Amino acid sequence: MPKRAVGIKRSWEELKKELDRTGSGYPGAVYFKTISAQGPQLFAIVNNDSVFYNDHGKWHRYITACNIQFGRMEFNSSNPDRSKSEDTISQLQTNESDWVFISHNGQDITYHYHELVVPLLHRMAHLEKLTLYLHINTDGLLINDTHLQNEILIHMPQLHTFTFYISIEIGACKLPRSISPDDIQKTSTNIKSIRTACVIESLNRFTTMCHAYLFPFSFTHLNISSQFPNMILNSVTHLYVKDSISLKHRFVMRISKAFPMLMCFSLRNSTTQLCNDHAMTTDENLSNLIIEYPQLILLDLRYVNEDYVEQFLLETKIYLPRLTQRRV
């Protein structure tokens, strides 16, 4: 199960004394005391994108840590104790403290957007910069300019920088009759001088996925299907692909070119690699080309047809020079 950690900013000397730790701090790190039920007692963040925990005087990196969000929250104590429940935002509001939220699974879907995410955002009245990464399963909600203005921006009068990626999974039976990228791309109207992009994919006949993000894309984690358009996203290091159609050699080649910095790749597809004669001929022509993933260190093929396991792990087809973790 994915874990979530919420922490408040503290110095390393304060944490050493309070939590009985030894050793030196991590170079260039910002330190946090965990106040949520989940997560280590303390953690450190370097360059706003790398998370470390301390064990027996040594620092270790969380490879799967993602969705790091910074802000300010109000508490009834300048040094609140660790919560014994998941409701870490129900504190009485008297004092403010810097906080950070971390999710440890880029595939995690939020099913309670209205109940959990929106109330949390409403409490950030003093926020000046907001980075929002959400993967939502909704009842047909389209997060357009009206929603962002009424549910988020109006509650943050001091906000001047808004970076976001919002991925929405919508059941086909709950999808509005007509939907286009413009329905989501209107999010740019409320904060000046930003450019947004939108992608709409049909995962299967039951589910549609809508992606809305600030252009250029700057996040490290991305969930897509094979219908995601051709584009180069240099920031993506963790990619999760879920599909129900046969994925051929040319798709694997496209992924290697579109995500040159990819370090962790997870694939879900139980369909065999069968296709029509024309597609098979095209793919056979491409199969003579060796595909290289130069940065890939983790490959997750636990939920795929055995055809994909053979394709990825045969060095005659795909070259993975830095691969150290295989999940099959």
pLDDT at 94 > cutoff 50: no
pLDDT at 12 > cutoff 60: yes
pLDDT band at 172 (very low <50, low <70, confident <90, very high): low
Judge contact between 283 and 247, C-beta under 8 A: no
Q: What's the pLDDT score for residue 255?
A: 94
Give the helix/strand (H/E) hosting 269: strand 264-269
- Of 82, 77, 83, the residue nearest 96 (C-alpha): 77
276 residue type, one letter: N
- What the block records as the tokens of 222 is 């991305």
Length of the chain: 328
Give the helix/strand (H/E) hosting 257: helix 249-258
pLDDT at 225 > cutoff 50: yes
Q: DSSP string of 26-92? A: PTTEEEEEE-SSSS-SEEEEETTTEEEEEETTEEEE-TT-EEEEEEEEEESSSSPPPPSSS-TT---
Tokens 């270790």, residue located: 60
pLDDT at 189 > cutoff 50: no
pLDDT in tens, 14-57: 999 999 898 999 999 999 998 877 778 899 999 877 889 888 88
Cα separation values, 286 from 275, 292, 314, Å: 15, 13, 15
- What the block records as the tokens of 201 is 């994919």
pLDDT at 178 > cutoff 80: no
Please report, for the chain, the start and end positions of each structural domain, with discontinuous segments joined by +: 1-104, 106-198, 220-328
- What the block records as the tokens of 172 is 């086909």
Q: Rounded distance, CA 69 to CA 165, Å?
A: 12
Supply the mean pLDDT for the chain: 76
- What the block records as the tokens of 275 is 């296709």
Judge contact between 225 and 190, C-beta under 8 A: no
Q: Rounded distance, CA 224 to CA 221, Å?
A: 10
Q: Which residue has the higher pLDDT, 109 or 162?
A: 162
Q: What's the pLDDT score for residue 235?
A: 93
Q: Which residue has the higher pLDDT, 182 or 277?
A: 182
Q: What's the pLDDT score for residue 161?
A: 82
Q: Rounded distance, CA 278 to CA 71, Å?
A: 53
